Amino acid sequence: MASTIRGDALALPKVQCPNHPEALLVEDYRAGDMICPECGLVVGDRVIDVGSEWRTFSNDKAAKDPSRVGDAQNPLLNGGDLSTMISKGTGSASFDEFGNSKYQNRRTMSSSDRAMLNAFKEITNMSDRINLPRNIIDRTNNLFKQVYEQKSLKGRSNDAIASACLYIACRQEGVPRTFKEICAVSRISKKEIGRCFKLILKALETSVDLITTGDFMSRFCSNLGLPKQVQMAATYIARKAVELDLVPGRSPISVAAAAIYMASQASAEKKTQKGSASFDEFGNSKYQNRRTMSSSDRAMLNAFKEITNMSDRINLPRNIIDRTNNLFKQVYEQKSLKGRSNDAIASACLYIACRQEGVPRTFKEICAVSRISKKEIGRCFKLILKALETSVDLITTGDFMSRFCSNLGLPKQVQMAATYIARKAVELDLVPGRSPISVAAAAIYMASQASAEKKTQKEIGDIAGVADVTIRQSYRLIYPRAADLFPPDFKFDTPVDKLPQL
């Protein structure tokens, strides 16, 4: 029997044997029972294991594989992992411009858990940028949870509270960072972090140790490449200056900098006052990348990161990212688009890659995840095709139909009817010069109006990314031949002669 012995304080604090309250209970993982080893009494049954779920990759085939997936219970959340997703919205308001559900998290966790989870992610991002260890992240998360549950800082943004909690955690863990350092990795002003810092200390009735010159000396000297002797001398100078009251009211950071300057000038390792300009506000070298890679490699690396970020936002697979990277590399090395920004070129390459891989996205969708205008992406698109002497297949209504109908929550019959209508409209040359996206939207509108699953022009326009008037213009072109456009086996809820005329 797979079992282990552990203290009841660690397993279930309130579960104990009535006859032997001091006995260490045995947990049977297979049966989910808690058993007293003294008398054999089952004092708890169907115990839930809240440890991490596990999964093996020993068998990825359809055959039986006793694997599970999932995450460990987060003690900082209030049971959001126990919620259940009930259904998926079907209206246009339930989806963003990429067709992804807006409210999935709102169906699966409470608003408080969602707010805390977002704050924890922000704390982790800030900590990673200044290389803070895990224990500081954990302390910051705990501080934020206490403040959030007390509701003592109402009116302050969660980002400001998280930034102040990170500052406090660094101080409490003995690795203080300045307000300027926290500001640099957050979107919050130094003044706002300072205010929240004071309010949190008061609300939690806690305190932090005063910062000293010694808290920064080692890091500053190490980043300046100074030997141990100079570091020790600078530390001694700063400490004596404070003891002799030579620097009243001066910041420990400025005193540490002055002491380092004095010690270096007295040694063979002289540093100028401006030498610190070679380091950023975190004490890391500003020009490290410039020393370790060429400017062209650095430009491409930045572009690849931007391509990955854009692709992630619209859930594009890895093969499209790889193709986009290859396109960008070819364009960059040819230097055929001089004068165009790398971001614009990357956006156009992503648009081309989507077309070439058979999962086209609209210019509007690419614009939404980049900082580039639709007009600029269009220009770069044409220039890249010409420079690389490549081409893309023409987009058709079928390229978008499945995604649009799925995001609108339309049944298979309506999707098939809309696909048939759009294809027949093109074959009969009813929509010359019209965009395939607008034709697809008009076909969906016509098919939905003839079925029981009616959708408005606005709902369809929100998903397709086109204006209501654009849908109406295409619809008016195909409406006169509506009777010839529907599949023969379509089951009408609304007869053709009763369809909206617009």
**What pLDDT, in 10s, does the model give residues 223-258?**
788 899 988 999 999 999 988 888 888 888 888 889
CATH number at residue 370: 1.10.472.10
444 and 370 in a common domain: no
Kindly give, in sequence order, each residue whose CB lies less than 8 Å from that of residue 176, ignoring residues fewer than 6 positions away.
170, 211, 215, 216
Cα–Cα dist 221/279, whole Å = 12
434 and 357 in a common domain: no
**Can you name the residues that pair with 27 across neighbouring β-strands?**
4, 34
445 and 372 in a common domain: no
- Give every strand in the sheet of 42-44, ordered side by side: 3-5, 26-28, 33-35, 42-44
284 and 335 in a common domain: no
Least reliable range by pLDDT among 69-73, 97-101, 115-119, 262-266? 69-73
Domain assignment present for 323: yes
Q: Provide the residue type at 240 as one letter.
A: K
Residue 470 has pLDDT above 50, yes or no: yes
Burial class (CB in 10 A: 0-12, 13-18, 19+), 207: exposed
Q: Could you give the angle at the alpha carbon of 154 between the alpha carbons of 152 and 157, nearest 5°?
A: 120
Domain assignment present for 15: yes
Domain assignment present for 111: no
Domain assignment present for 81: no
Mean pLDDT across the stretch 318-336?
A: 92
308 and 268 in a common domain: no
**Can you name the residues that pair with 279 across neighbouring β-strands?**
285
Query: 414: helix, coil or strand?
Result: helix
Cα–Cα dist 359/395, whole Å = 10
| Contact in structure between 418 and 460 (CB atoms under 8 Å) | no
Greatest mean pLDDT range, 18-27, 48-57, 92-101, 167-176: 167-176
Average pLDDT, the chain: 81
Domain assignment present for 249: yes
Cα–Cα dist 367/86, whole Å = 33
Last residue of a domain, one of 388, 418, 441: 388
404 and 352 in a common domain: no
261 and 224 in a common domain: yes
Tell me the residue range of the domain where 355 lies.
295-388
Domain assignment present for 13: yes
Domain assignment present for 493: yes
| Contact in structure between 170 and 223 (CB atoms under 8 Å) | no
| Contact in structure between 47 and 12 (CB atoms under 8 Å) | yes
**What pLDDT, in 10s, does the model give residues 402-445?**
888 988 999 999 999 999 999 999 999 999 989 899 999 999 99
Domain count, the chain: 4
285 and 302 in a common domain: no
Cα–Cα dist 344/89, whole Å = 35
Domain assignment present for 349: yes
361 and 280 in a common domain: no
Last residue of a domain, one of 368, 388, 408: 388
pTM score above 0.75: no
Q: What single DSSP character describes residue 94? A: G
Cα–Cα dist 392/88, whole Å = 35
**DSSP track, 17-71:** -SS-TTSPPEEETTTTEEE-TTT--EEE-SPPP-S------S--SSS--------
Q: What single DSSP character describes residue 285? A: B
pLDDT score, position 51:
57
pLDDT: which is higher, 397 or 100: 397
φ, ψ of residue 116 to 5 degrees: the values are -65, -40
Q: Provide the residue type at 177 as one letter.
A: R
Query: 4: helix, coil or strand?
Result: strand
pLDDT: which is higher, 83 or 387: 387
Neighbours of 300 (CB within 10 A): 19
360 and 316 in a common domain: yes
462 and 371 in a common domain: no
**What pLDDT, in 10s, does the model give residues 150-193?**
888 888 888 899 999 999 999 888 888 888 888 888 878 888 89
Cα–Cα dist 319/321, whole Å = 5
Last residue of a domain, one of 274, 289, 304: 289
306 and 283 in a common domain: no
First to last CA, the chain: 73
